[in-house]
């Protein structure tokens, strides 16, 4: 691996560490706004944020060292070019006369069919440095004996067996995935170790109070009653069978396939929370219809505020105030495209009156993308479907109290099984990724969704 490749890897690792640190900081800020927070929880999150800071520093130091090493190498190369006179430089290998003959690397009298050469070509492709050295010596020998022919008569196309293609396996392009932006914004709990159902008691008939009619008369009386909310524990899983040849003779095949399975797991979990029939956020939310033949940003924003009002009306004193708006990326960019000369009548903390919200500049899936003019954070999630409505081109905007979007996950999820015995007769290796999760948005029926013809595929016209 070259120094440039190591530097590229170090930069990627640093970017990942910075994104992780930002997530921990966002989580800390969200925790501090929780009225029910404990000092222990805050200290734990501070420790997680500080650990992420340490990782950023470590990655930055590693990158600085590599870049310093690269700069030194370039400096020495320039210095050598200046200090060594052309007249005294050693002649090239193929420009010096030699007495006698060195034994060729590949000798026709010992290997008439060139099998050793073919094996070296294959081994060099798989990273065998000794094979690469032998091929390099062979090319040097060819240039010495037939250099004028190689340089004047033929290009690389004439040596398809010698000019070996290189595969940049460290730059492989994984299949894109929507992953889990909304799931990461939900209120997380550890899944209990046993059982396939999570039960929550909901007080559905409350006690009562009233003005006493007169002294020594009966006061209001209403028996409290609850209803059990049963939440199923669901299993998300996927599998892939790889040949042992692919694993043992390939370059990074197994971790690449595992990474893809993990990405599909995250996407399925998030899509389930949003789109599952009956219990998903889309199914459990109360509908606010936004109808418009020519949708405008200035029309859509009031619908979101109406959704926030609906959330608080449903939650009453149980509202945490940590509301979130969840939308597709196309809707988020449509909101950004809107231009207006009008400003909010009531300003919000941290947002200037002349701004229609704030874009935090975060990348997809790394937490809050921005803040609306009333201070509500926005989660962008491309698991939101875009084929709704009569013309199958509408998406929806969801408004919810983050603390009432509950998600239970096993702390170890997703789990990984690597089984060799089931497919041993065919030299196969079975890989299975799975995990358990439970969720509910209905402990209090509170979520709102904006839907209708005003949310057709956006036209970016500045209005």
Model pLDDT for residues 6-33, shown as the tens digit of each residue: 888 888 888 888 988 888 888 878 777 7
For residues 202 and 341, the model is more confident at: 202
Residues of the chain with pLDDT > 70, as a percent, come to 88
Question: pLDDT grade, residue 137 (50/70/90)?
Answer: confident
Whether residue 400 is predicted with pLDDT greater than 60 in this model: the reply is: yes
Least trusted range by pLDDT, from 171-175, 198-202, 233-237, 407-411: 171-175
Q: What is the pLDDT of residues 308-363, one digit of tens each?
A: 999 999 999 999 999 999 999 999 999 989 877 776 655 667 776 666 678 888 89
Q: What is the pLDDT of residues 151-163, one digit of tens each?
A: 555 566 766 777 7
* Rounded Cα–Cα distance for residues 167 and 39 (Å): 52
Contact 49, 25 (CB under 8 A): yes
Q: What is the pLDDT of residues 423-451, one digit of tens each?
A: 888 999 999 999 999 999 999 999 999 99
Q: What pLDDT score does 260 carry?
A: 95
Mean pLDDT along residues 62-66 = 87
DSSP-derived 3-state class of residue 351: strand
* Rounded Cα–Cα distance for residues 300 and 186 (Å): 24
* Rounded Cα–Cα distance for residues 140 and 135 (Å): 9
Going from N- to C-terminal start, the domains of the chain cover 3-171, 175-463
- CATH number for the region 175-463 comes to 3.30.2400.10
Question: pLDDT grade, residue 99 (50/70/90)?
Answer: very low
* Cα maximum dimension of the chain: 127
* Rounded Cα–Cα distance for residues 463 and 450 (Å): 19
Q: What pLDDT score does 89 carry?
A: 52
For residues 117 and 61, the model is more confident at: 61
Q: How does the average pLDDT of the chain come out, rounded?
A: 86
- The pair of three-digit structure tokens given for residue 285, joined into one six-digit string: 């939310």
* Rounded Cα–Cα distance for residues 407 and 403 (Å): 10
- The pair of three-digit structure tokens given for residue 341, joined into one six-digit string: 């000369």
Whether residue 118 is predicted with pLDDT greater than 70 in this model: the reply is: yes
Q: What is the pLDDT of residues 384-395, one digit of tens each?
A: 999 999 999 999
Q: What pLDDT score does 460 carry?
A: 93
């Amino acid at each position: 691996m070259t120094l440039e490749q190591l530097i590229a890897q170090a930069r990627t690792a640093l970017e990942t560490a910075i994104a992780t640190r930002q997530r921990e900081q966002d989580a800390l800020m969200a925790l501090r706004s929780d009225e029910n927070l404990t000092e222990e929880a805050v200290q734990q999150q501070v420790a997680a944020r500080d650990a992420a800071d340490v990782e950023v520093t470590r990655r930055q130091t590693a990158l600085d060292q590599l870049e310093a090493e690269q700069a030194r190498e370039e400096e020495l190369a320039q210095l050598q070019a200046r200090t060594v006179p052309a007249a005294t430089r050693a002649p090239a290998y193929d420009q010096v006369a030699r007495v006698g003959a060195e034994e060729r690397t590949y000798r026709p009298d010992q290997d008439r069919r060139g099998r050793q050469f073919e094996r070296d070509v294959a081994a060099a492709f798989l990273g065998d440095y000794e094979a690469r050295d032998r091929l390099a010596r062979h090319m040097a020998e060819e240039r010495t004996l037939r250099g004028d022919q190689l340089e004047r008569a033929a290009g690389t196309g004439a040596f398809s067996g010698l000019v070996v293609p290189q595969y940049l396996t460290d730059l492989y392009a994984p299949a894109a995935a929507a992953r889990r932006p909304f799931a990461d914004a939900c209120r997380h709990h550890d899944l209990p170790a046993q059982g396939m159902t999570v039960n929550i008691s909901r007080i559905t008939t409350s006690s009562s109070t009233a003005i006493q009619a007169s002294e020594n008369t009966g006061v209001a009386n209403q028996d409290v009653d609850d209803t059990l909310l049963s939440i199923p524990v669901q299993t998300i899983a996927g599998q892939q069978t790889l040949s042992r040849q692919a694993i043992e003779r390939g370059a990074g095949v197994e971790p690449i396939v595992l990474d893809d399975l993990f990405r599909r797991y995250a996407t399925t979990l998030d899509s389930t929370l949003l789109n599952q029939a009956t219990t998903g956020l889309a199914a459990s939310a109360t509908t606010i219809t936004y109808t418009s033949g020519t949708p405008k940003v200035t029309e859509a924003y009031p619908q979101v505020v109406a959704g926030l009002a609906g959330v608080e009306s449903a939650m009453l004193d149980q509202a945490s105030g940590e509301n979130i708006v969840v939308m597709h990326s196309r809707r988020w960019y449509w909101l950004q495209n809107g231009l207006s000369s009008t400003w909010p009548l009531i300003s919000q903390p941290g947002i200037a009156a002349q701004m229609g919200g704030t874009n935090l500049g975060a990348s997809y899936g790394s937490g809050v993308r921005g803040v609306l003019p009333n201070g509500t954070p926005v989660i962008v999630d491309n698991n939101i479907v875009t084929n709704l409505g009569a013309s199958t081109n509408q998406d929806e905007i969801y408004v919810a109290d983050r603390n009432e979007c509950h998600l239970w996950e096993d702390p170890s999820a997703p789990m990984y099984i690597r089984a060799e015995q089931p497919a041993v007769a065919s030299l196969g290796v079975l890989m299975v990724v799975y995990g358990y999760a439970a969720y509910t948005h209905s402990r209090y029926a509170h979520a709102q969704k904006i839907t209708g013809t005003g949310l057709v595929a956006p036209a970016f016209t500045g209005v």
